[in-house]
Structure 1
């Protein structure tokens, strides 16, 4: 071994060696238990960030550890390569999305390889390749033929700068999740997946995912959002048609003082037509078209609406109530209409107050008498029905069923369930995505592309339009086709699929990425799936994870898989955070733009003092980011990996610390020096595995401590407690150095060999290049990742002596060292004889002696 640790030289050497030897290539092996470890694949932005480094390091440790524990480990990597960001970046950089994407993939692949991750690169895939999206198109057609896909005209979230539709999940505070610009409502023909067909099943299985964080399953439950209640039909005065409303409180129907429709409801314009409200309604609808219309948005928006000029008839009381259009009603939820019960719903209370509508009380709480004239807020609790026709005097909970039954008998309603979850709109009016494999024929209607003609290739030589719009609609070579049914001229669909479609099944393709005859090899999927451990950010709790669960159910319904849930265990890692640095003249600064060498940090651009802000998630906008390349150049991959794992448990946020990185580097140098100290003695000898009694006391202590550490590290890694596992190895190393400083160096070469080998094996998943170099220098053969995890011996865990704490009346008074096998009477006698105990017992009667064997003795005196 060289006298000094040179990470760059070592890491490059071993990465080449592992790659040339195919160490991480994996195949189905039914003689071994399988373990599928997957981190969510990245979007190829061109540069990895510290979030990537942390996420993939966590996964790599688990993959390497499981391999050492005898599992056949699948650990793949690929690229979520389609989507709007590539187009936006291409426009900004005056390049083509394809060129931009493939260049970025090459760049990021090199960066990931430099970190030494144990990926089977032979399984690499990119979702923008025809070999991948061909099967996505194939499945789309299968779903269309089974009625799982449909097309309809509807109002959608539309982003003008991005020139595309957004799913509700992709709208954040009224703005596009990618470009941040305001989203408006637009009526378009769209393709939809019937995810609502699986709403109940997806909800039920949220409670059958014990390996998932509760916060994630709770988020999914809330998004699916099941409600139980009744569908009630209100008549419309002077018209034959009616309005269906959904309510969870049918018991309050006699308290309805208005009916409110979603602005997009097809009845709104018809009800207002010819009335004095026509112009007001038109103005209101135009305003609503410019506002975000998602469930999240309407929860916080001020309630407003407009009277349509028409009236509805209450089916129970026969009362006449005005019909409004209101911004707090969603067309997508329930029926797009609600009955307003101001006295018993706070949202309705606020709306009624604004428009001076009645607030009749129909549920009186026990011991109170509500008066609508004096009520300051709605009463939403239990009570007895009043002013409710034949149901007055009935408990309101009982009345919910009674009224629903009455409505059903009168053909005016029925018991019903509704879900917040809406069908998944997957059409995007963008270029860089999977073409939708459908053809529009004037004679035959909508026809699917024949399977023999798949894939429908995205023309990668097409240039984007000046406004960033998709060229597909104006590219005759793409859209002009012959109808496969009648042979007449037809038009290819020019929409592309939402990028989340690609990420909803990629984990299955990894099982057989080169399969050409099918979407995947079913035997390979049966062997590898489901994923045993999935690692990804909590920000994907709804979109990606819910869609992946849905897609797996679709594949099960098609008979392609025999399971419903794709991910058995889920880890949502915390964010990487760092304090911000700000200069008055230059604003936020990158860390390298700050001179920290002075007592007061200064800006390297102007020399002015720099303000240190709060710790926040690393982001380019705040410039509080650390470039992994700088770390790799200075410290190497292993130090970077070690710090990411040691600084915080994986599920917690990691606060960046430059001193912490330095500390990680110092620790590796300390281990290096330890290996140097014993390399001559330990090289080419067998690791000691004999009796403890045959060793000197010092060597016996090292041997015992080594076995205790092996057990501790294995238990911690099994629980993903990587920081405490690393800490245990640090403690072992420190103990050996401390003994050496006392002149108690290891005497037995086999014990030294056992120590260094064990440290290498335990740290191998964390710092693989570093440990491989030491292992080889000691004469170890082969690739360390292929070696078995070290085994601990139960007899070697036992201490010769124990330290017993002595308390008097519960307070610490002394300590005593005793043989580990001392019986209770011996422990009690030794404790009573300690100087501290004798002093505090003087002149007092010993009433009781409590012995907790192996830990403490408490002497109770009075």
Structure 2
């Protein structure tokens, strides 16, 4: 009688075994290296299913590569600075440091419970002075190189969280975390000159062959390199000119108005003299300047009353102030061509401005229903009629250079990276301000500049300017009284180089020489929501580290896998005003097929949406592990959908994964691979061996080339289903047992990266030699001669309709195949030999009898 599968016992034993042997420590080796990294988490204290999916994918890849003979580095650490920890500390009346340490301890245990093969010897938290010391040191290098500067700039200010937000953190004019209405505010900020590297970042994208095209395109668009023309529109009755930038000079004859940003000098000059303009700018200045938001928000404007003189037609065209023009792109002023730019078209329609068509293209449907944005042939453009885009660009540029101070310019949408934040829980910027010497970097011998210790945080939070004793310091240059910088780094600063620190941890330097053995990261795993900021900043930092001879590689990540989100059903009730209140699935009652809440109110199903705290549709990984075991959770996560696609959570489906593991356990437990290979096999045995080796060949491709773990699992299920029952019984022949054992061995090794605990336990009993644990064994090799099938499946048709199928030996003649097809029981019901008019045979595929 076989022992019952008990995941708690099996998983505890496996994890203890790995810990005792320090099984996953990355050490110096002659084996080829493989560095697999999943984006490290913010230590919230609790794993969610998105974490589980992300880290299971990385672990499956790592374990597979170990079995292939690679020396694998798979580390784990904590992105532990930032506003979330500070806000949580306020809510729980503790210090952010204490809160973070507690959460790291909790999450480490949760990660270990899933059996992830991390090298915990390399673990670090970015909030540790041992880590951010080197970040401050690197900042000093960049400061010396002139790549860091400070200037007053207009920022998105969250008055509740009391910090600056990036444009991407402002949603519908509200702070992404606090929900507060965002204000525009001018403050001094530190910036790093990422724009100096815009061309390099753009050029290198072409080398990222292992990245998804979607992510590369997102980065290209974010950098936003564009060649265009900068020139003047003379302002009527003024000595001044309005300088504009356009990427489409070919459309200049379609310009029917100009528009400037709300903070353009022209707009600002009109505020005092024009109350309407004053009110318009005041009412709209706090609207986010994120391009994504601008693309969808209502287009609003105010006519300045000023007229621009068209450089070719000499017509007067109005100058507007518009909320969709960005001051920090181009000149902050544009010529607007509503016939050939959709944004301009929407604005023109709203304010009854004329629309002209000056381009003809293959997709030409006119401009009455929308802008025609394709490039094409010029029309209604006087002497330039008939020119295509390139010729028109050159010809119009030559004319404008003569009269309108035109010059061809290359612009980028990318802006320098603002790295200052005004909160306590972050890495202090290592600058000292002296009245005589100005900003002075903290000497290397005084690093790290550590945060002042606190017991808790008030409800409003705090920043470093509240610590007067900490701020007071002597100037390193002149020794006079000075003050410390009170801003902290944007947390993207920490996550932009952590991958290199994992590869070369040292007490004596930022990145040790060991890093050259591991970098670049061979496989990076994380969500596509990080496609722009984190991944772009990490690439930028990597270039800087390369220039400073800290690492040898210019790009950080060879391959990138962006996993899909985990979705689950969400439920809500409506109040009288139609507002939604989200409900946890477990709080619902099913009364005769109708869902009700505890008060008897009708519950509505929102469908599948991203698991989130706000919608109360998250599933606690711990509950699932306690109920089914870590291997079932891992198997389910990998089986339900390909990694790049969304995963729809279903407890019925996870039950199916649990049943499969129990069935597999029953098949393997109590068996031993102690059968010698026989000299001959019968037909059924050869069929199973062929299936085993075909499966091995297929899953190798799925693992290596496609990361298609769902089809790996499906292939093993198919192999197990193909095992004849007669091979499993006690008195099966030696050759049958050998074929069964071969199928089991392959299945154990194939599933080992996905379900490592149960396969380790089963292997320890199944492996008669006992010389190696499963994770130390090598990946099995398929035999090509066993994969080739001597048979094929013949499809038999009568007048084109399938009437039967037969297994046919490849050595048979066409006449022999015809005879077998005609003797098929079902085929004989639909055919008489003397009615056959024609026989069509497609070799090794089908035969069709026409009657």
Same fold (TM over 0.5): yes
- CA distance in 2 between partners of 1:687 and 1:593 (Å): 55
SS at match of 1:579: strand
Do the aligned partners of 2:245 and 2:334 also contact (CA within 8 Å) in 1? yes
CA deviation after TM superposition for structure 1 residue 343, in Å: 5.2
1:13 aligns with: 13
Structure 2 counterpart of 1:859, from 845, 848, 851: 848
| 2:92 maps to 1:93 | yes
1:248 aligns with: 247
Q: Superposition pairs for residues 77-88 of structure 1, below 5 Å? A: 77-88=76-87
| 2:439 maps to 1:446 | yes
Structure 2 counterpart of 1:520, from 492, 495, 511: 511
- CA distance in 2 between partners of 1:110 and 1:720 (Å): 27
SS at match of 2:503: coil
| 2:320 maps to 1:329 | no
| 2:834 maps to 1:843 | yes
| 2:158 maps to 1:162 | no
Do the aligned partners of 1:164 and 1:430 also contact (CA within 8 Å) in 2? yes
SS at match of 1:651: coil
Q: Superposition pairs for residues 759-774 of structure 1, below 5 Å? A: 759-774=747-762
Do the aligned partners of 1:804 and 1:816 also contact (CA within 8 Å) in 2? yes
2:667 aligns with: 674
Structure 1 counterpart of 2:807, from 808, 813, 817: 817
2:641 aligns with: 648
- CA distance in 2 between partners of 1:524 and 1:399 (Å): 56
Structure 2 counterpart of 1:783, from 768, 773, 786: 773
SS at match of 1:532: strand
CA deviation after TM superposition for structure 1 residue 546, in Å: 1.6
TM-score, length of structure 1 as denominator length: 0.90
2:209 aligns with: 210
2:276 aligns with: 280
Do the aligned partners of 2:233 and 2:404 also contact (CA within 8 Å) in 1? no
CA deviation after TM superposition for structure 1 residue 769, in Å: 1.1
**CA deviation digits over 1:103-122, x for unaligned, max 9?**
10110000000011001111
CA deviation after TM superposition for structure 1 residue 840, in Å: 2.7
2:184 aligns with: 185
- CA distance in 1 between partners of 2:151 and 2:294 (Å): 24
1:686 aligns with: 674
- CA distance in 1 between partners of 2:343 and 2:465 (Å): 44
CA deviation after TM superposition for structure 1 residue 380, in Å: 5.1
CA deviation after TM superposition for structure 1 residue 455, in Å: 1.4
1:56 aligns with: 55
Q: Superposition pairs for residues 263-302 of structure 1, below 5 Å? A: 263-273=262-272, 275=273, 277=274, 279-302=275-298
- CA distance in 2 between partners of 1:806 and 1:619 (Å): 53
Do the aligned partners of 2:589 and 2:598 also contact (CA within 8 Å) in 1? no
Q: Bigger shift: 199-208 or 82-91?
A: 199-208
Q: Bigger shift: 625-634 or 242-251?
A: 242-251
1:340 aligns with: 336
| 2:565 maps to 1:572 | no
SS at match of 2:831: helix
Do the aligned partners of 1:305 and 1:324 also contact (CA within 8 Å) in 2? yes
- CA distance in 1 between partners of 2:23 and 2:149 (Å): 47
**CA deviation digits over 1:787-845, x for unaligned, max 9?**
11122222333446544322344332333333354455643554355455565363345
CA deviation after TM superposition for structure 1 residue 64, in Å: 0.5
Q: Bigger shift: 730-739 or 47-56?
A: 730-739
Gaps of 5+ in 2: none
- CA distance in 2 between partners of 1:777 and 1:601 (Å): 50
**CA deviation digits over 1:576-631, x for unaligned, max 9?**
112124467995333433467x8647669567775544122211222122111111
1:482–1:325: structure 2 CA closer, same or farther, 3 Å change rule? farther
Q: Superposition pairs for residues 158-557 of structure 1, below 5 Å? A: 158-235=157-234, 242-253=241-252, 256-273=255-272, 275=273, 277=274, 279-308=275-304, 312=308, 323-342=319-338, 344-352=340-348, 359=354, 361=356, 363=358, 365=360, 382-384=376-378, 386=380, 398-410=391-403, 412-461=405-454, 463-470=456-463, 472-513=464-505, 515-521=506-512, 523-557=513-547
| 2:612 maps to 1:616 | no
2:692 aligns with: 706
SS at match of 2:69: coil
1:443–1:17: structure 2 CA closer, same or farther, 3 Å change rule? same
SS at match of 1:118: coil
TM-score, length of structure 2 as denominator length: 0.91
CA deviation after TM superposition for structure 1 residue 637, in Å: 0.8
| 2:38 maps to 1:24 | no
SS at match of 1:487: coil
1:746–1:432: structure 2 CA closer, same or farther, 3 Å change rule? farther
Structure 2 counterpart of 1:733, from 720, 726, 738: 720
CA deviation after TM superposition for structure 1 residue 488, in Å: 2.0
2:129 aligns with: 130
CA deviation after TM superposition for structure 1 residue 63, in Å: 0.8
CA deviation after TM superposition for structure 1 residue 264, in Å: 1.9
CA deviation after TM superposition for structure 1 residue 716, in Å: 2.3
CA deviation after TM superposition for structure 1 residue 74, in Å: 0.9
Do the aligned partners of 2:253 and 2:358 also contact (CA within 8 Å) in 1? no
Structure 1 counterpart of 2:654, from 661, 675, 679: 661
- CA distance in 1 between partners of 2:625 and 2:687 (Å): 37
Gaps of 5+ in 1: none
- CA distance in 2 between partners of 1:61 and 1:366 (Å): 51
CA deviation after TM superposition for structure 1 residue 129, in Å: 0.8
CA deviation after TM superposition for structure 1 residue 26, in Å: 0.9
- CA distance in 1 between partners of 2:728 and 2:66 (Å): 37
**CA deviation digits over 1:169-215, x for unaligned, max 9?**
32233332333333221111111122222223323333332222222
CA deviation after TM superposition for structure 1 residue 161, in Å: 1.4
- CA distance in 2 between partners of 1:380 and 1:16 (Å): 63
- CA distance in 2 between partners of 1:173 and 1:775 (Å): 56
- CA distance in 1 between partners of 2:368 and 2:751 (Å): 67
Do the aligned partners of 1:831 and 1:857 also contact (CA within 8 Å) in 2? no
**CA deviation digits over 1:626-678, x for unaligned, max 9?**
111111111111111111111222112111121211111111111221123x5
Q: Bigger shift: 238-247 or 198-207?
A: 238-247
Structure 1 counterpart of 2:708, from 701, 721, 734: 721
SS at match of 2:264: coil
Do the aligned partners of 1:230 and 1:246 also contact (CA within 8 Å) in 2? yes
Alpha-carbon RMSD across the aligned residues, in angstroms, is 3.3
CA deviation after TM superposition for structure 1 residue 18, in Å: 0.6
- CA distance in 2 between partners of 1:835 and 1:223 (Å): 66
